[in-house]
Amino acid sequence: MEAATFAANAPIALRYVPPRELEAIRRMEDPVQRVAAFADASRINALSSIMEAGSGHVGTSFSVLDILSWLHLEVVEGDDVVFSSKGHDAPGAYAVLVGVGKLDFDLLHRLRRLGGLPGHPDIEAVPAMSTNTGSLGMGISKAKGFARAARLAQPPGRRRVFVVTGDGELQEGQFWESLGQAANEGLGEITVIVDHNKIQSDTWVDQVSDLGDLGAKVRAFGWAVARCDGNDVRALGETLGTLLDEHPDRPKLLVADTIKGSGATVFEPHELERSATALYAFHSGAPGPDQYAAALGEIAARLDERLGREVAYEEAQAPRRTQPCAPQKLPFAYGEALADAAEREPRLVALDADLYLDTGLIPFRERHPERFVECGIAEQDMVSQAGTLALGGMLPAAHSFACFLTPRANEQIFNNATEATKVLYAGTLVGIIPGGPGHSHQMVRDIALMGCLPGMACLEPATDHEARLCVQWAVFEAPGSVYIRLVSVPWELGFEPWQAERLQPGRGTVVREGTRAVVVCTGPVLLSQAHAAAQSLGDVGVVSLPWLRDVDGAWLGEVAGDAPVVVLDNHWHVGGQGDAVRAALGGRPVEVWGIDRLPACGSNEEVLREHRLDADSLVERLGAL
């Protein structure tokens, strides 16, 4: 089959392998041919699902699909458990579960949509998943719990548990903590398969934190270990079968050497420079039309050859998506400002946890490479390094997604705080937007976690300019440690942003005046919704307040006058900015509208509407005051 082509700006035509074709593949007699064809069909379905959603993880889904396909078609039976510890390969896992009839086919059209398939596994939304994953390093610990529960049941039994991990994931300490006990207790029910595709979020694993002789290390804990080509179905099946047969009473680990993006040349890293600065392009996000066409053509041609006929596809279209005209891009503004600040402050050091693209650190790394430290997927290690850098006279700034930085390394952050040094922390991907990745990545607890630490100032900018001001204040004026909270999604405000000269501690900006009510919020997402609602209602004021703690109550009380005060919190409704405003206003009634349940997963518009934080919902809620 030839690659499809697309006209400029035209809707993208997508192709799915439908249930009847998947059933025909499962009836193939030869297991190697059956699994190879099934894996390619699943690649087509996972890729089209990602295109329809507009986001997802292509590279890690493709590298692991031969493994997942072999497990589900040839190994798993009865009450066996199989799950992916890394969670990023959810599109691939969903495609396999659809292919074996454990999920409805139509759900492939609802990846990262409300009521559909979450961006990372969620057993409430998708009961066919065994456990929730997304935060890395937990897999073997979860496997031990499954195995132990079966042994403790009445009557006791043994339940096989198959766990897929990523290789970058092995930088998390919990993986290594989990190994010894499993061997000591002879938990032979557990089999771990490492999707050893050699690339983590940003770049090559061995350029960040080389795993060394992984097999020897795991054997030293008492595990049985084998290795094979994880994208060679025959080798995978034979090696895994031997490992299971020969070691029934020992936990087992198979190092499956794979290629990230395997099966589609356009997604494979063949030309990626072997350096720590190289960036793999297909870790997350949807490919472009030409890349989709090339990948679809290559996989479909191979699938036709395997089947000896042309596949009859189901067709769909990726929806048109418009880009905002003048969005605020806070991580990029932050990163440029941090690099600029480093010109004036020679003590400033930036530390990153395998997310230097997403945290805006490319300018810093390019301009100050000697003061950039790539710590990999090891947040606790990064934060403790930052603490002693500060004790050594430097000014460290530690970066990651807030959902990993602030909870996982909170003990280390507290330890730093007890030493009364100055450390800067920057967390991106905060709040409920983007809504597609799901609750493991929607950070709505970080203000509470960071705001209770001694000496910690907490800020969240609403505009690019304000992000720069936050950096200037944090580096040159703040007396102690600072947490800067950054919305990741490029976001349109819907009005011309203001240009203040500097931050005034505890105070914000009156964006709109009004006496019917005053809405207080920060960050571009909720500020845009508040402003649109205020415009619709008329006499409603809007205050953008970057301070998440230590609010100037006298100033805010004067601004609000006698109007009711409403705080919009892109955070859990307890412990966020709303609590700080209540405390600052000294008992004055304050409405706090935040997140009061597990964050919904879906498109950005769906998620805001589901939590009644979109402009239309705010019009209704403000109108009822």
User: What's the CATH code of the domain at 354?
Assistant: 3.40.50.970
pLDDT confidence of 276, banded at 50, 70, 90? confident
Q: What is the pLDDT of residues 553-577, one digit of tens each?
A: 999 999 999 999 999 999 999 999 9
Residue 176 CB partners (closer than 8 Å, separation 6+): 170
On whether the CB atoms of residues 571 and 521 are closer than 8 A, the answer is: no
Query: Does residue 101 sit in the same domain as residue 218?
Result: yes
Residue 336 included in any domain: yes
Query: For residue 561, what is the domain's CATH number?
Result: 3.40.50.920
What's the average model confidence in pLDDT over 523-528? 98
Tell me the two tokens of residue 566. Answer: 């409403």
The answer to whether residue 165 is domain-embedded is yes
Both 355 and 389 in one domain: the answer is yes
In this model, does residue 109 exceed pLDDT 90?
yes
d(CA 529, CA 572): 18
Q: Helix, strand or coil for residue 594?
A: strand
Nearest in space to 284 (alpha carbons), one of 259, 263, 261: 261
- Tell me the per-residue pLDDT of 297-340, one tens digit each, with 9 for 90 and over: 999 999 999 999 999 999 998 887 777 888 999 999 999 999 99
pLDDT above 60: residue 5: no
Q: Do both 283 and 410 map to the same domain?
A: no
Residue 598: name the closest of 135, 125, 128 by CA: 125
Q: Which backbone phi and psi does 126 adopt, to 5 degrees? A: -130, 85
What pLDDT, on the 0 to 100 scale, is given for residue 320? 78
Q: What is the pLDDT of residues 365-408, one digit of tens each?
A: 999 999 999 999 999 999 999 999 999 999 999 999 999 999 99
- Quick check: is 113 in a domain? yes
Do 461 and 546 contact (CB within 8 A), yes or no?
Answer: yes
Long-range contacts of 500-506, Cβ-Cβ distance < 8 Å, separation of 24 or more? 500/465, 500/466, 500/469, 502/469, 502/472, 502/473, 503/459, 503/466, 503/469, 503/470, 503/472, 503/473, 503/546, 504/552, 505/547, 505/550, 505/552, 506/547, 506/550, 506/551, 506/552, 506/555, 506/584
Query: What band does 482 get if pLDDT is binned at 50, 70 and 90?
Result: very high
pLDDT in tens, 115-149: 999 999 898 888 889 988 888 889 999 999 999 99
Asked if 311 and 396 sit in the same domain, the reply is: no
Compute CA 590 distance to the chain's CA centroid, rounded to the nearest angstrom. Answer: 33
The answer to whether residue 139 is domain-embedded is: yes
Q: Among 213, 134, 139, which Cα is nearest to 176's?
A: 139
pLDDT tops 90 at residue 285: no
Query: Which 3 state secondary structure label does DSSP give 484?
Result: strand
179/291 same-domain check: yes
Report the C-alpha gap between 513 and 518 in whole angstroms: 8
pLDDT tens-digit series, residues 190-215: 999 999 999 888 889 888 889 999 99
> Could you tell me the pLDDT band of residue 467, with boundaries at 50, 70 and 90?
very high
Does one domain contain both 526 and 429? no
Percent of the chain topping pLDDT 90: 86
Boundary-marking domain end, from 486, 517, 532: 486
The domain boundary, picked from 318, 348, 367, lies at: 318
Distance, in Å, from the CA atom of 155 to the CA atom of 355, rounded to the nearest integer, reads: 47
Q: Would you call 322 exposed, middle or buried from its count of C-beta atoms within 10 A (0-12, 13-18, 19+)? A: exposed
User: Residue 360 carries which DSSP code?
Assistant: T
Q: Please, are residues 58 and 88 in contact by the beta-carbon 8 Å criterion?
A: no
End-to-end alpha carbon distance in the chain:
61
Residue 252 has pLDDT above 60, yes or no: yes
E strand spans, 429-559: 457-459, 482-486, 509-512, 517-521, 540-544
470: tokens are 């936050």
| Alpha carbon distances (Å) from 449 to 135, 284, 468, 575 | 17, 27, 24, 8
Distance of CA 591 to CAs 431, 565, 574, 577, Å? 19, 6, 12, 12
pLDDT at 233 over 70: yes
Residues 395 and 279 in one domain: no
**Whether 367 and 254 share a structural domain:** no
Q: What is the pLDDT of residue 142?
A: 93
9 has a pLDDT exceeding 60:
no
Q: Cis peptide leading into 327, omega within 30 of 0?
A: no
In the structure encoding, which two tokens stand for residue 404, read together? Answer: 């990993």
The number of distinct structural domains making up the chain is 3
Per-residue pLDDT, 271: 83
pLDDT at residue 8 above 70?
A: no
Q: Which among 164, 168, 173, 230 has a CA at the least distance from the CA of 201?
A: 168
SS3 state of residue 614? coil
Residue 214 burial (C-beta neighbours within 10 Å; 0-12, 13-18, 19+): middle
Query: pLDDT, tens digit, for every residue of 338-349?
Result: 999 999 999 999
Integer Cα distance of 251 and 247 in angstroms: 8
Q: What is the mean pLDDT of residues 541-547?
A: 98
For a pLDDT cut of 70, what percent of the chain falls above it?
A: 98
User: For position 10, what pLDDT does the model report?
Assistant: 61
Residue from 181, 201, 245 nearest 59 by CA: 201
Judge whether 368 lies within some domain: yes
User: Residue 277's pLDDT band (boundaries 50, 70, 90)?
Assistant: confident
Decide the pairing of beta strands 348-352 and 395-401.
parallel
Least confident window among 103-107, 252-256, 318-322, 439-443: 318-322
Please identify, among 486, 520, 554, the residue that sits at the C-terminal boundary of a domain.
Answer: 486
Say which amino acid occupies 23. E
Confidence of residue 519 (pLDDT cuts 50, 70, 90): very high
> How many other C-beta atoms can be found within 10 angstroms of the C-beta atom of residue 622?
21
Instruction: Tell me the C-alpha distance between 149 and 151, whole Å.
Output: 5
483-506 pLDDT, tens per residue? 999 999 999 999 999 999 999 999
Provide the domain limits for residue 459: 330-486
Mean predicted confidence (pLDDT) in 513-540: 96
| 493 belongs to a structural domain | no
Q: What pLDDT sits at residue 7?
A: 34
Neighbours of 423 (CB within 10 A): 25
Q: Does residue 439 carry a pLDDT above 50?
A: yes
97 and 151 fall within a common domain: yes
DSSP labels, 255-306:
EEE--TTTT-GGGS-TT--SSTT---TTSSSPPPHHHHHHHHHHHHHHHHHH
CA dist., res. 184 & res. 187, Å (int) = 8
Position 4 scores a pLDDT of 33
- Whether 451 is in a domain gets the answer yes
Residues 302 and 444 in one domain: no
Q: Is residue 150 over pLDDT 50?
A: yes
Residues 76 and 154 in one domain: yes
Structural domain includes residue 496: no
- Domain shared by 279 and 340, yes or no: no
The pLDDT, as a whole number, for residue 278 is 83
* DSSP secondary structure, 374-398, as one string: E--S-HHHHHHHHHHHHHTT-EEEE
Cα–Cα dist 383/378, whole Å: 9
pLDDT band at 1 (very low <50, low <70, confident <90, very high): very low
Torsion of CA 46, 161, 380, 224, to 10 degrees: -110
Of residues 71 and 8, more confidence is placed in: 71
